[in-house]
C-alpha cells in the first residue's frame, strides 16, 4: 500500500497496485483540476511535496510544459501524466501552490 | 470607419478597432452598445512596440491606424498580453509585415501560440520582472495568470506610468471618445465585465492587484472599452472590493455555509433535504440552509453558490434525468470559482433514479470536491433511510469543517 496525501483536499488514500492519479482523483472525489488530460494544457500541474520517486518517470510532455512555464522545479508534475509506480511509501501532493 | 488615433501620452497611441454592432460577446456576454478591441503603440528612441492586435475581421482598421503612427520596420517588439482570438486575430499578418519584430508572450502562452499560428514563429517568453527597452522607454512585464486566460500577463511603461492590463479592468462598452472622462456612463459595463469574466478568478485578481501596487499608475490601458486615466485607483479599489472575501457572511462570522438546493415532486426529495440539513446543522461551525430551486432566479443562485462552502444538490429523477433547475444551478458555476468547494447530491426517485449520480458526475467535472457518494431513495423515505440522510449531512459538514477523509482505493 502507498499512502497518498492530497494536501489541499485533506484526503488520505491508501492505494494498492499501480494507479493513475486521474483514477485516484476521480475515485476519491478530490478537486484536482484537469484540462485536456493528455499533457498539453498544463492545467493539472501540481507540486509533489514528498515521494516524487514513487511516481512514474517524468514524460517528454511534462518536460516541455515545465520549460514553457519557465520552471526548473523537478517536483512540479502534470497529474494527468502520473501513475503511482511503487508498492509502498508516502506521497504528498499539493495543487494550490 | 473613423480614423481616430487617440494619444494616451506623448509616446503611446491607441490603434485598436471598434465593434459597435456586436451584441453578444464570447457567446455568453451581452453588450448593449458594442465593444472595442484596444491595442496600442509605444514609441521609444530606438523603436516601437505594438501592444496586442485585434479580432481578425477588424484587421484592416487596425493596420490603417498602425500605419498612421509608425512604419513596419520600426517595430521592434510585438507584445501579446494573452492569445485570445479577439486580440491575436491580426498577429500572423502583422508578423509578416514586420518580420524583424520580436514577439513577446507569457510562458503559458507557448502552447496556445501553436494553436493560433500553425507555422513556426520566433518568440520570447516573459515572466514577472522581465523588461524590454525601446531606448528611452522601458516596459516591464507582470505575470497575471487566469485573468481571464491562463496565459494572461500585464505590462507597465515606466516613463509614462501606463499599465497595460490585458483584459483586467476591461468593459464591453463602445464609445469612440475612448477616455473614461469623455465617454458616457460605463459603470454598469465595467461591473458586468468583472462579474462575467473576472469573478471566477478572484484569488488571481488579488494577486494581480498586489503586483500592480508596486507601481505608480497614471493610466490603465485595458484591452476592451474605455481607457482609465482620471482616477485609476478608483477602478483598482472596485476590483479589490469585489474580489475580497470580506463582504461575504461566512468570513464575517467565521462560519462555513452548507447549502442544500433541491426540487421535489411529491415531497420526498424535500424530506431528504430537510434531514440532510438537520444533520449538517449539528456540526459546530456550520450554518446549514435549504433552498427550493423552483423559486431561485439566476442571480440569487450565483450569490448563494459563491457564499457556500458545501453545495448539496437534490433532484428527483424524471424521464431518466435530473430536473432542469438543478442543471441551471450548476451552470451558474461558470461565473464562479469551484475549486475547494465541497459537493454532494441526493434525490428520491420512482423508476430509475439516475439523477443523483448524474449530478455527482457533473459536479466532478466542475471541480468540486466530492468526498461522499450520492444518496438515492426509492419513493417515500423510511425512518432508517432518513437516518442515513442525517448521517450523510453530518459527514459532509464535518469534512467541510476540516475532518480528514481516509479511504482505500
Contact status, residue B330 vs residue B303, Cβ threshold 8 Å: no
In degrees, rounded to 5, the angle at the alpha carbon of residue A37 between the alpha carbons of residues A31 and A41 is 95
Q: How far is A73 from chain B (nearest CA, A)?
A: 15
Q: Delimit the CATH 3.60.15.10 region(s) of chain B.
A: 7-247
Mean pLDDT of chain B: 92
Q: In the 8-state DSSP scheme, what is residue A26?
A: H
Search chain B and give the residue with CA nearest A13: B407
Q: Which residues of A touch B399 (CB under 8 A)?
A: 10
Indicate the residue of B108, B367, B404 with minimum beta-carbon distance to A33. B367
Contact call for B405 and A10, based on CB within 8 A: yes
Q: Which residues of B touch A14 (CB under 8 A)?
A: 406-409
**Structural domain span for residue A14:** 2-94
Q: In the 8-state DSSP scheme, what is residue B327?
A: H
pLDDT tens, residue by residue, B260-316 = 999 999 999 999 999 999 999 999 999 999 999 999 988 889 989 988 999 999 999
Band of pLDDT at residue B253, cut at 50, 70 and 90: low
Interface test with B, best of A31, A60, A66 (most B CBs within 10 A): A31
- So what's the ipTM on this one? 0.77
- Cα dihedral B191, B202, B143, B149, rounded to 10, equals -70
Q: Delimit the CATH 3.40.50.360 region(s) of chain B.
A: 252-399
- Cα dihedral A63, A65, A67, A71, rounded to 10, equals -100
Q: In whole angstroms, what is the distance from residue B42 CA to residue B51 CA?
A: 8
Say whether domain B252-399 belongs to CATH 3.40.50.360: yes
Band of pLDDT at residue A97, cut at 50, 70 and 90: low
Q: In whole angstroms, what is the distance from residue A79 CA to residue A20 CA?
A: 8
| pLDDT confidence of residue A68 | 73
Query: B392 φ, ψ to 5°?
Result: -60, -50
Q: How far is B145 from chain A (nearest CA, A)?
A: 11
Contact call for B341 and A31, based on CB within 8 A: yes
Band of pLDDT at residue A33, cut at 50, 70 and 90: confident
Q: In whole angstroms, what is the distance from residue B388 CA to residue B99 CA?
A: 68
**CATH number, residue A8:** 3.10.20.30
Beta bridge partners of A15: A2
| pLDDT confidence of residue B365 | 87
Q: In the 8-state DSSP scheme, what is residue B381?
A: P
Q: In the 8-state DSSP scheme, what is residue A95?
A: S
Name the domain count of chain A.
1
Contact call for A29 and B125, based on CB within 8 A: no
Domain B7-247, architecture per CATH: 4-Layer Sandwich (3.60)
Return the percentage of chain A with pLDDT > 90, whole number. 48
Strands (E), B219-341: 219-222, 256-262, 286-292, 310-314
Amino acid at each position: 500500500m502507498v499512502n497518498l496525501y492530497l494536501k489541499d483536499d485533506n484526503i488520505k488514500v491508501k492505494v494498492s497496485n499501480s494507479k493513475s492519479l486521474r483514477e485516484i482523483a476521480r475515485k476519491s472525489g478530490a478537486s484536482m483540476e484537469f484540462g485536456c488530460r493528455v499533457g498539453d494544457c498544463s492545467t493539472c500541474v501540481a507540486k509533489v511535496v514528498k515521494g516524487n520517486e514513487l511516481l512514474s518517470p517524468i514524460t517528454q510532455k511534462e518536460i516541455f510544459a515545465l520549460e514553457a512555464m519557465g520552471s526548473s522545479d523537478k517536483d512540479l508534475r502534470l497529474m494527468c501524466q502520473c501513475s503511482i509506480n511503487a508498492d509502498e511509501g508516502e506521497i504528498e501532493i499539493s495543487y494550490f501552490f | 470607419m473613423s480614423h481616430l488615433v487617440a494619444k494616451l501620452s506623448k509616446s503611446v497611441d491607441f490603434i485598436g478597432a471598434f465593434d459597435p454592432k456586436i451584441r453578444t460577446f464570447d457567446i455568453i456576454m451581452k453588450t448593449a452598445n458594442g465593444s472595442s478591441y484596444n491595442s496600442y503603440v509605444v514609441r521609444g528612441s530606438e523603436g516601437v512596440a505594438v501592444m496586442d492586435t485585434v479580432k481578425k475581421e477588424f484587421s484592416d482598421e487596425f493596420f490603417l491606424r498602425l500605419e498612421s503612427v509608425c512604419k513596419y520596420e520600426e517595430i521592434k517588439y510585438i507584445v501579446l498580453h494573452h492569445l485570445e482570438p479577439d486580440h491575436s486575430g491580426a498577429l500572423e499578418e502583422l508578423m509578416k509585415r514586420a518580420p524583424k519584430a520580436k514577439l513577446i508572450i507569457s510562458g503559458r502562452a507557448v502552447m496556445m501560440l501553436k494553436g493560433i499560428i500553425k507555422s513556426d514563429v520566433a518568440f520570447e517568453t516573459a515572466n514577472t520582472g522581465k523588461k524590454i527597452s525601446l531606448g528611452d522607454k522601458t516596459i516591464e512585464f507582470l505575470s497575471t495568470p487566469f485573468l481571464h486566460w491562463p496565459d494572461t500577463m500585464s505590462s507597465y511603461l515606466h516613463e509614462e506610468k501606463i499599465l497595460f492590463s490585458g483584459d483586467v479592468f476591461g468593459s464591453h462598452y463602445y464609445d469612440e471618445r475612448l477616455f473614461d472622462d469623455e465617454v458616457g456612463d460605463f459603470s454598469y459595463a465595467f461591473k458586468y465585465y468583472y462579474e462575467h469574466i473576472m469573478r471566477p478568478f478572484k484569488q488571481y485578481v488579488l494577486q494581480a492587484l498586489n503586483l500592480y501596487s508596486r507601481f505608480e499608475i497614471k493610466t490603465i490601458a485595458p484591452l476592451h472599452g474605455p481607457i482609465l486615466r482620471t482616477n485609476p485607483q478608483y477602478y483598482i479599489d472596485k476590483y479589490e472590493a469585489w474580489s475580497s472575501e470580506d463582504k461575504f457572511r461566512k468570513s464575517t462570522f467565521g462560519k462555513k455555509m452548507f447549502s442544500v438546493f433541491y426540487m421535489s415532486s411529491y415531497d420526498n426529495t424535500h424530506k431528504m433535504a430537510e434531514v440532510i440539513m438537520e444533520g449538517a446543522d449539528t456540526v459546530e461551525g456550520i450554518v446549514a440552509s435549504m433552498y427550493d430551486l423552483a423559486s431561485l432566479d439566476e442571480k440569487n443562485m450565483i450569490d448563494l453558490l459563491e457564499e457556500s462552502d458545501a453545495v448539496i444538490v437534490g433532484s428527483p429523477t424524471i424521464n431518466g434525468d435530473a430536473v432542469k433547475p438543478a442543471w441551471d444551478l450548476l451552470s451558474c458555476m461558470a461565473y464562479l470559482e469551484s475549486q475547494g468547494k465541497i459537493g454532494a447530491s441526493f434525490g428520491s426517485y420512482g423508476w430509475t433514479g439516475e439523477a443523483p449520480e448524474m449530478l455527482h458526475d457533473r459536479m466532478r467535472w466542475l471541480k468540486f470536491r466530492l468526498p461522499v457518494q450520492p444518496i438515492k431513495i426509492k419513493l417515500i423515505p423510511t425512518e432508517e433511510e432518513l437516518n442515513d440522510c442525517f448521517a450523510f449531512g453530518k459527514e459532509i459538514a464535518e469534512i467541510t469543517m476540516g475532518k480528514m477523509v481516509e479511504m482505500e482505493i
